[in-house]
């Protein structure tokens, strides 16, 4: 059973919108894309913030604006520069989608103004289209991201168990649209997301300080942490072997193909299959580093073993697709995935004389 009906009543809805807007005006974080907003800054920040925290995005956003300050500059930039500016931010498909989007916009006489038209552009889904058009053009489109799902699930004490976060987003979209303040959709959307990020946080919601506490069914029940209910996906554990093969000031790296689903054009330390070797052949070398990391539900343990570069083997490596001997002095000029740059630097420090 849910408690969304009172919120849907016009008088309650108007009071809710007023309380939310007043709180946001005073309490929102001063962020660079809010201080001097523009369509381009909104688009770049929305892409960078997908699945990434504000604190992580800030230095990337500032550097990006210095080097690629507008759509024409981004559209004209080579892919290698775009990827390099994104290095360490993760989910690299976002950088390629943003680049394609800038090129599509640059080819138009003017950027579109409706969510429907934005969704026809490359790399723009329902959330991004709603965020961009409500913020930049005041379109009456409600944004629903993870923060908004959490706030709405708690306001209504909605006990539905969702299969995944995408189904939770779809479930709450109609309520978000009903609650949208059509006089200022951009501010309303930002306020609801900011409330989820700053007050109605996943583990410790600060209900006493919440501007919409009086509308909240979960807080009335004293159990806000019970919502939303999303089925937990079992973590998948994976062991990954990596080879460290250095010779005469060069390091052997694997570059994923341009069409690869993940990490296209990015360099990483090679796996046994990249080298045409059996796992046992790599595992036989001394262990240099063992690291754990998580990507969504995937929990990976990566072991990096030193591989002695026998001369014949080296020639074979050079011929294999995707393998490159990169001079150590040029490592800062290529785009490595974030963890691999940290691991390589750590090994180089450990091996320094």
* Residue 210 lies near ligand SF4 (rule: CB under 6 A): yes
The count of chain residues that interact with ligand SF4, using the rule CB under 6 A, is 15
Span near ligand SF4 by CB under 6 A; candidates 27-35, 108-116, 148-156, 320-328: 148-156
* Residue 199 lies near ligand SF4 (rule: CB under 6 A): yes
* Residue 169 lies near ligand SF4 (rule: CB under 6 A): no
Centroid of chain to Cα 38: 21
Separation between Cα atoms, residue 33 and residue 57, nearest integer Å: 11
* Residue 175 lies near ligand SF4 (rule: CB under 6 A): no
Q: Among 218, 266, 275, 336, which residue sits at the site for ligand SF4 (rule: CB under 6 A)?
A: 218
Separation between Cα atoms, residue 309 and residue 248, nearest integer Å: 10
Separation between Cα atoms, residue 253 and residue 323, nearest integer Å: 6
Q: Which is nearer to ligand SF4, 105 or 200 (CB)?
A: 200
Span near ligand SF4 by CB under 6 A; candidates 11-19, 50-58, 149-157, 256-264: 149-157
Kindly write out the interface string for residues 223-242 of this chain, putting x where it contacts ligand SF4 by CB under 6 A and - elsewhere: -x------------------
Shortest Cβ 158–ligand SF4 spacing (Å)? 12
Q: Which is nearer to ligand SF4, 100 or 213 (CB)?
A: 213
Residues 6 or more apart whose CB falls under 8 angstroms from that of 333 comprise: none
Span near ligand SF4 by CB under 6 A; candidates 104-112, 185-193, 209-217, 298-306: 209-217
Backbone angles phi, psi at 12, to 5 degrees: -65, -40
Residue 46 appears among annotated catalytic residues: yes
Separation between Cα atoms, residue 22 and residue 16, nearest integer Å: 10
Span near ligand SF4 by CB under 6 A; candidates 34-42, 72-80, 217-225, 311-319: 217-225
- Strand pairing report for 323-327 and 250-255: antiparallel
* Residue 216 lies near ligand SF4 (rule: CB under 6 A): yes
Q: Which 3 state secondary structure label does DSSP give 228?
A: coil
Separation between Cα atoms, residue 300 and residue 290, nearest integer Å: 10
Q: Among 41, 97, 99, 154, which residue sits at the site for ligand SF4 (rule: CB under 6 A)?
A: 154
Backbone angles phi, psi at 250, to 5 degrees: -125, 155
* DSSP per-residue codes, 283-352: HTSPEEEEEEEEETTEEEEEEEEE----HHHHHHHHHSTTEEEEEGGGGGGS-B-HHHHHHHHHHHHHH-
Task: Confirm if 37 and 46 have CB atoms less than 8 A apart.
Answer: no
Q: Which 3 state secondary structure label does DSSP give 261?
A: coil
Q: Among 212, 336, 344, 347, which residue sits at the site for ligand SF4 (rule: CB under 6 A)?
A: 212
Active-site residues, by number, are 46
Binding site for ligand SF4 (CB under 6 A): 151, 154-155, 199-200, 205-207, 210, 212-213, 216, 218-219, 224
């Amino acid at each position: 059973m849910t408690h969304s009906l009172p919120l849907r009543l016009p008088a309650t809805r108007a009071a809710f919108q007023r309380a939310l807007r007043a709180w946001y005006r005073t309490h929102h974080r001063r962020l660079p894309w809010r201080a001097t907003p523009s369509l381009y800054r909104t688009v770049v920040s929305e892409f960078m913030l997908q699945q990434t925290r504000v604190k992580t995005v800030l230095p990337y956003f500032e550097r990006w604006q210095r080097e690629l300050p507008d759509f024409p500059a981004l559209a004209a930039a080579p892919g290698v520069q775009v990827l390099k500016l994104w290095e360490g931010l993760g989910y690299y498909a976002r950088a390629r989608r943003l680049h394609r989007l800038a090129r599509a916009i640059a080819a138009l006489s003017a950027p579109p103004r409706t969510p429907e038209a934005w969704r026809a552009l490359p790399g723009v889904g329902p959330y991004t289209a709603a965020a961009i058009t409500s913020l930049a053009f005041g379109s009456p489109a409600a944004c629903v991201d993870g923060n908004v799902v959490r706030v709405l699930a708690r306001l209504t004490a909605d006990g539905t168990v969702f299969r995944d976060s995408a189904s939770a987003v779809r479930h709450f979209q109609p309520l978000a649209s009903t609650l949208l303040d059509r006089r200022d959709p951009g501010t309303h959307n930002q306020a609801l997301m900011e409330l989820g990020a700053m007050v109605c946080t996943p583990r410790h919601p600060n209900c006493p300080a919440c501007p919409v506490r009086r509308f909240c069914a979960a807080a009335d029940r004293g159990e806000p942490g019970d919502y939303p209910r999303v089925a937990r996906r079992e973590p998948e554990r994976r062991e990954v072997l990596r080879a460290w093969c250095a010779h005469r000031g060069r390091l052997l790296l694997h570059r994923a193909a341009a069409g690869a689903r993940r990490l296209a054009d990015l360099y990483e330390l090679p796996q046994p299959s990249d080298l045409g070797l059996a796992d046992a052949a790599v595992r036989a070398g001394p262990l240099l580093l063992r690291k754990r990391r998580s990507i969504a539900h995937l929990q990976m343990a990566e072991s990096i073993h030193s591989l002695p570069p026998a001369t014949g083997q080296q020639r074979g490596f050079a011929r294999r697709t995707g393998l490159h001997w990169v001079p150590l002095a040029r490592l800062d000029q290529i785009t490595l995935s974030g963890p691999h740059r940290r691991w390589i630097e750590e090994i180089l420090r450990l091996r320094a004389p």
